[in-house]
Each structure stands twice: as C-alpha cells, then as structure tokens.
Chain A
Amino acid sequence: DSGVTQTPKHLITATGQRVTLRCSPRSGDLSVYWYQQSLDQGLQFLIQYYNGEERAKGNILERFSAQQFPDLHSELNLSSLELGDSALYFCASSASGNEQFFGPGTRLTVL
C-alpha cells in the first residue's frame, strides 16, 4: 500500500460525457502527479501540482484539466470523452520530487 488513494476504482461512461477522478496523496506530500496508461501510448505524464499550483505539464489534452485543493487532494477532470480516452489513470505523490508513490489507479472505459 503506497498511501495514495484514488477513487473510483472503475468508471464506465459514454462518449461526450464528463468525469472527475479523485486522488488523495500520502500524508504530508505536497506534490501530486497524474499519468495516463494505455496500451498504445504506454505510461504518459499528464500534469503535476505542487501545494495547489500547477508545476509541470506533459501530454495533457485541452479537454482535460486538473486542480489541487487546499487539503492537497487533487482532481482530474476529463470532458467530451472519446473512445480513445479509455485508459488507466494513475495519481502519484511525492515529498522530495524524487521518489513518487503511485496509487492503484482508476480504470476508465468510454463506450
């Protein structure tokens, strides 16, 4: 158990819909990262927040957005969903910027 929690575990929705994925980092970790893992693209960095501020941005689509709240939990919002957005979405947290602790992931299926 990494100490990072993600909800929900599974999510099934339809194209065009909007969903919100939630992540609670390890106690005391200020940084939260979001990753997408799909069969064709592999594991890709999406975005990082540090203490509520966006710190780094990777291959995140404009239809996707994220935020980190004062209690340090984070949400990833995915809108206008397409079939190709079906993937595992991981959240990770870290204290030092070195070792990242990954949550169990949310499996998103877009039908």
Chain B
Amino acid sequence: DAKTTQPNSMESNEEEPVHLPCNHSTISGTDYIHWYRQLPSQGPEYVIHGLTSNVNNRMASLAIAEDRKSSTLILHRATLRDAAVYYCAPNAGNMLTFGGGTRLMVKP
C-alpha cells in the first residue's frame, strides 16, 4: 500500500490561500491521488482527485508533482467552514489508503 506523509496541522487566515502538502513516494503508476476532508463529527467528504495532470473543481485545485511522489491541495480562499482534517489518499484498485491527515485551522 502507498504510504502518505502530511503535516499534522496547519493554520491559515480567512480569505487567504492554503497549500496542503502530501508526500506519497511509494505510489504506483496507476494509483489515483484522492483528497478528502472530514469536518467535526461527520464522515469524510470528497474534495478532488487526479492522476498526473493538475486538476481544478469548485472546491479546490490539485497540483501533482511530475514524478507523482507528492501533491498539493490548494484552497484558493480559506473560509471558516474549511476548518477540517484533510486527507490525501492514494486509490489503488478502489482501496483508499488514508494517512494521518492535516488539521487545518482557519483564523478569522
């Protein structure tokens, strides 16, 4: 299974961009990189996923390194509602491997 490494926590100011990094150096060539977030007392929520190219959706952008050993989730303007634990999770054959996640704190 691909192992992931994320910072335990990060802090951001409201309305500012946030870059959440993830190392997944053991990822295989066919594993998609997924990001989920978990708000307090809720189940994980899908954010974005990609394979090789950078991806954008209404929630965030995903920048994937050329060697695919790392990726960065970008929240363009953090809001208080974005305070959550963010997980990167390589997807190998429909199996998501979650790491420890990054707890994002957003200051008003």
Contact = CB atoms under 8 A, between A and B. Distances in A.
18 contacts: A33-B96, A43-B44, A43-B98, A43-B101, A45-B95, A45-B97, A45-B98, A48-B94, A48-B95, A55-B94, A90-B44, A97-B94, A98-B49, A99-B49, A100-B46, A102-B36, A102-B44, A105-B43
Contact of B43 (A44, A55, A56, A90): A90
Interface string B83-107: 0000100010111111111000000
Contact of A44 (B34, B36, B93, B98): B98
A36 to B, nearest CB: 11
A58 B101 CA distance: 19
Interface string B60-99: 0000000000000000000000000001000101111111
A77 interface: no
A104 B43 contact: yes
Nearest to A104: B43
Among all A-B residue pairs, the 9 with the closest Cβ atoms: A102-B43, A43-B98, A99-B46, A102-B44, A90-B43, A45-B95, A97-B94, A56-B95, A56-B94
Interface in B34-54: 34, 36, 42-46, 49
B102 to A, nearest CB: 13
Contacts of A99: 46, 49
